[in-house]
Amino acid sequence: MEGSRSRRVVAAGVAALLASSAASAADAPARKTPAPGYRAAVVMEASSGEILIQENAHERRPPASMAKMMLMLLVAERVAAGEASWDDQVMVSREAEKMGGSQVYLASGETFTLRELMEAIVIHSANDASVAVAEAMAGSRDAFVDLMNERAQQLGMKDTTYRSPHGLPPGKDQESDLTSAYDLALLAREILKHPQIMQWADTPESTFRKGAFHLVNTNNLVRTTPWVTGLKTGYTREAGFNLTATGERNNLKLITVVMGAPTKRQCDDETARLFNKGFNGFQSLYAVRRGDVVANDVPVANGNPRFVRVVAGGDLSVIAAKGAKRNFSLELALSGDLQAPLPAQAPVGTVIVREDGRQIGQVPALAGDEVQKQPRFWERFF
């Protein structure tokens, strides 16, 4: 059951950027810039993966419940591949029932749909639901953790080692999950490809057990800031307060990660500050847009007409500092000689985008118009 979305629009500066003025020698001594209220942080542009702001980005730290982000991705990918369904029935095990911390109080032998349990995980960070889903997906909790680590390596998350599907503090003779702000941003970028997960991550409130249990999103910014769209919080005494958040303003999508804040309020405030710094300091510039004409007179063998326009088949944008001017050039690389007949929008090669001679990306090249085959002589005669 999806929760109704109600938000209170707040001023753009949930955490206003602090401005300091230099004091003269005759006045009080100059103040030092306050240290950030976190141990590590990253701001990433979601489309390109470009890092805009970072501090201790590769420091390995416990993610706490942000470990569930990998569970969210693996389940979403399995459903997208047709290997699982949101309507699959999941039976709760004894081990899942015993999980503490944030939970929805599952009992051994109960059965819920994968959809119900995932909603409890994404919105409410339910540890018992996490174990139940991990066991259903891989047969055992440990087998699922192996899948988490395998996927982390595939995504290039070199700072990450998972030891649990939920991120709770380790027990006796166990070790903690470890990751970094950079790796969590990589993971969040992949999760953004799955609309159902993001819909739950952007849901302020919902219910469980047919309305008997109230789910409240642990991400406060989802409830207070309209342009924040997710994603996952985490807290343990060792890890501190953590938040991986996604947001969009002015055609710019950002991912922020804050790790090791001393309080939840500071974690939220630092996240908002980093968002504002990213949105106010950077912009998205189109190097080429779908439909842009790359060439007007490309010859078509046996074509009527004999030439065709070639257009860009996709968008390519870059991130630049606000006010910066960038100069791009387009280069057409045909896949071969063009032959009639040629349908409109047929792929004909690649548009290479360069800046100062350096290739920064490419998009497909498409035929801008239809070109029919030139009739042969005897066909024209008759």
Within a 13 Å sphere around the CA of 373, how many CA atoms are in the beta-carbon half?
A: 7
Q: Distance of CA 195 to CAs 62, 76, 166, Å?
A: 27, 9, 22
Based on the residue annotation, tell me whether 93 is a catalytic residue of this protein. Answer: no
DSSP annotation string for 69-138: HHHHHHHHHHHHTTS--TT-EEEPPHHHHT--SS-----TT-EEEHHHHHHHHHHH--HHHHHHHHHHHH
Q: Write down the catalytic residue from 65, 130, 164, 176.
A: 65
Name beta bridge partners: 303: 373
Based on the residue annotation, tell me whether 68 is a catalytic residue of this protein. Answer: yes
Based on the residue annotation, tell me whether 176 is a catalytic residue of this protein. Answer: no
Torsional sign, CA 342, 344, 348, 354: positive
Q: Write down the catalytic residue from 68, 93, 102, 130.
A: 68
Whether 244 contacts 235, CB under 8 Å: no
Q: Write down the catalytic residue from 47, 102, 125, 180.
A: 125
Question: How far apart are alpha carbons 231 and 382 in whole angstroms?
Answer: 69
Burial class (CB in 10 A: 0-12, 13-18, 19+), 284: middle
Q: Which residues are catalytic?
A: 65, 68, 125
